[in-house]
Structures are given as structure tokens and as C-alpha cells.
């Protein structure tokens, strides 16, 4: 296995009888490139302190902004849904979607397996086939499933050299940072933590516990906890308004914050 070095810190903040926990971390192929431990601790402390005073919000339908470190999970669910194992078992909400427009036309998802020191880089897939750069989604349209030799044979299709998964997925992004996306959102929920595994892979129904920050007039107002966000993944993909330039580089999926036009937030 390729080398992997990581450094993480969990902090607990307390005020007026309430305690909040948060973390930060870094990961790299090369240990000398890890972030300074002090900066990781400071970031974890700032994140924990910012959550003090968190409370639920009333149930509503509003835009939702997923922070970059969580947005990768949305695209990870998409990858699972278009992977051979889910498809030949007929357990995917995207079965039969090849050639369909699933995302806004400005969005492309492509694999770049040979990037220097990237976490997902690999010259070969799990079957020993040479990996190569390719799109899975082009201009919003699903142009390729994700297949290894076995799943490809089950589906009567050639392998895409993805036995074992995808190697460095890149998501099209704009030139707006997270603060600019908050201003664009205006009023809604910034999600910075998700709990549970509330995705039905057969129907695409999505429902997860969440925490983060309530936003009004494009600015964070207060911390939020004990809410549930819900929608359907097909709708969520089509309703992606923007992807930020605050790219998450610690993961196999390189994406910025993702703004979704509307989701149900269930709270108090």
C-alpha cells in the first residue's frame, strides 16, 4: 500500500454548562508535508468554540451549503450508485441512468489517477489494469459507469480500470470561496457535521442528522444542532447551484463547498 501519514486533534469547549466537541486533521503521502501540529490544534479549538450555544431551528425548506469536507460524501454516494456492484445487483437508484443528465450542465466529474502525491493516485486498479484519466459525468450527463473486470463482465461492458474504486475524482468548481457562497445563499443552513448513514441506495432518499450554522443575509448567525436534513439524491444533484473553490485536498474526492438550492431541515 502507498504511504499515508496523518495528524489529528479533537478539542472540547465548554461554556455555561454546555460542552461541544470538534476536530481537525491533515493527511499526506509525505510526512514532511503535514500541517504544523499547532495550527491543527488551533483550528480544532476554534471549530469547537464556534459551536457553543448551538440550538435547533424550526422545520423549514431552505438552501443548504455543505462544507467542502462533507461535500465529498455527496459525490461519494453518487460514485457508489454508478459502481458496477450496485448496478448488477440492481440496488442503485441510478440503475439505467447512463446517458442521462443528472447534474447541471456546467458540472463535470472526472478521474485523474496519476497526480503527484494525491491521496487516490495509482498506476493500476485492483485487477492490475492500467488506470487512465476519464470523465464519469460530462456537462451534467453520466457518460460512464465505474467498473472493474468482474462487474463489467456481469453487465456486459468493458472494465473502466476501477476495480477497488475511483482514483482522484475532480469536481468542477467556480471561483467563489465559502464566504461568497454564504452570501449567494442568503438564508439557510451551513452544514459542518453529519451523523448516521441515512441514504437508501435503492430509492435515493437521503436523511441525516446534521449540525452547523444558521445563515441570514449571507452571514453566520448562530450554531445549529439536533436537526435532520432530508431530500432525494436525484433532486439534490440537479439542484446543485454552485461548487466553491475551497477544495478539499485531503480526500480521494476533490471538491469545494456545495450549495444545494433547497432541502428540508427538520428541527424543533
pLDDT grade for 197, boundaries at 50, 70 and 90: confident
Domain check: are 232 and 180 in the same one? yes
C-alpha cell at position 33: 508535508
**Which is more confidently placed, 267 or 133?**
133
**Sheet arrangement for strand 169-171:** 141-142, 134-138, 109-111, 169-171, 253-254
Return mean pLDDT, the chain. 96
Q: Is 239 helix (H, G, I), strand (E, B) or coil?
A: coil
The reply to whether 248 falls in a domain is: yes
Domain check: are 69 and 10 in the same one? no
Domain check: are 218 and 248 in the same one? yes
The reply to whether 193 falls in a domain is: yes
d(CA 251, CA 206) in angstroms, rounded, equals 22
**Which is more confidently placed, 142 or 267?**
142
The reply to whether 227 falls in a domain is: yes
d(CA 159, CA 149) in angstroms, rounded, equals 5
CB 203 within 8 A of CB 232: yes
The reply to whether 249 falls in a domain is: yes
**Which is more confidently placed, 113 or 117?**
113
- Span 95-104, pLDDT tens digits: 999 999 999 9
The reply to whether 252 falls in a domain is: yes
d(CA 264, CA 113) in angstroms, rounded, equals 36
Give the containing element (helix H, strand E) for 87: helix 84-88
Q: What's the predicted TM-score (pTM) here?
A: 0.94
Q: Is 206 helix (H, G, I), strand (E, B) or coil?
A: strand
C-alpha cell at position 221: 448567525
pLDDT at residue 1 in the model: 64
C-alpha cell at position 247: 477544495
The reply to whether 253 falls in a domain is: yes
How many other CB atoms are found less than 10 A from the CB of residue 178? Answer: 17
Contacts of 161 (CB under 8 A, 6+ apart): 124, 125, 127, 129, 130, 131, 132
pLDDT at residue 196 in the model: 87
Q: How many domains does the chain contain in total? A: 2
C-alpha cell at position 116: 503527484
CA atoms within 13 A on the CB side of 217: 1
Supply the DSSP symbol for 124.
B
- Span 48-95, pLDDT tens digits: 999 999 999 999 999 999 999 999 999 999 999 999 999 999 999 999
Domain boundaries, position 236: 60-73+173-266
Give the containing element (helix H, strand E) for 240: strand 240-243
Domain check: are 45 and 68 in the same one? no
Amino acid at each position: 500500500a502507498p504511504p499515508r501519514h496523518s495528524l489529528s486533534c479533537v478539542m472540547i469547549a465548554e461554556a455555561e454548562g454546555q460542552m461541544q466537541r470538534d476536530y481537525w486533521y491533515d493527511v499526506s503521502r509525505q510526512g514532511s508535508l503535514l500541517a504544523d501540529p499547532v495550527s491543527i490544534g488551533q483550528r480544532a479549538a476554534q471549530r469547537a468554540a464556534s459551536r457553543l450555544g448551538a440550538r435547533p431551528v424550526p422545520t423549514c425548506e431552505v438552501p443548504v451549503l455543505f462544507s467542502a469536507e462533507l461535500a465529498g460524501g455527496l459525490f461519494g454516494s453518487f460514485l457508489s450508485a454508478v459502481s458496477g456492484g450496485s448496478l448488477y445487483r440492481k440496488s442503485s437508484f441510478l440503475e439505467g441512468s447512463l446517458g442521462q443528465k443528472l447534474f447541471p450542465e456546467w458540472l463535470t466529474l472526472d478521474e485523474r489517477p496519476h497526480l503527484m502525491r494525491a491521496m487516490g493516485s495509482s498506476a493500476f486498479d485492483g485487477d492490475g489494469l492500467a488506470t487512465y484519466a476519464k470523465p464519469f459525468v460530462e456537462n451534467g450527463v453520466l457518460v460512464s459507469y465505474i467498473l472493474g473486470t468482474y462487474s463489467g463482465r456481469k453487465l456486459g461492458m468493458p472494465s473502466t480500470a476501477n476495480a477497488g474504486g475511483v482514483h482522484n475524482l475532480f469536481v468542477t468548481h467556480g471561483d467563489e470561496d465559502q464566504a461568497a457562497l454564504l452570501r449567494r445563499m442568503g438564508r439557510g443552513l451551513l452544514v459542518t457535521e453529519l451523523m448516521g448513514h441515512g441514504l437508501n441506495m435503492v430509492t435515493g432518499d437521503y436523511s441525516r442528522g446534521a449540525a452547523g450554522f444558521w445563515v441570514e443575509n449571507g452571514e453566520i448567525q448562530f450554531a445549529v444542532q439536533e436537526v435532520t436534513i432530508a431530500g432525494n439524491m436525484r433532486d439534490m444533484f440537479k439542484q446543485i447551484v454552485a461548487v466553491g473553490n475551497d477544495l478539499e485536498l485531503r480526500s480521494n474526492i476533490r471538491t469545494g463547498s456545495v450549495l444545494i438550492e433547497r432541502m428540508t431541515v427538520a428541527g424543533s
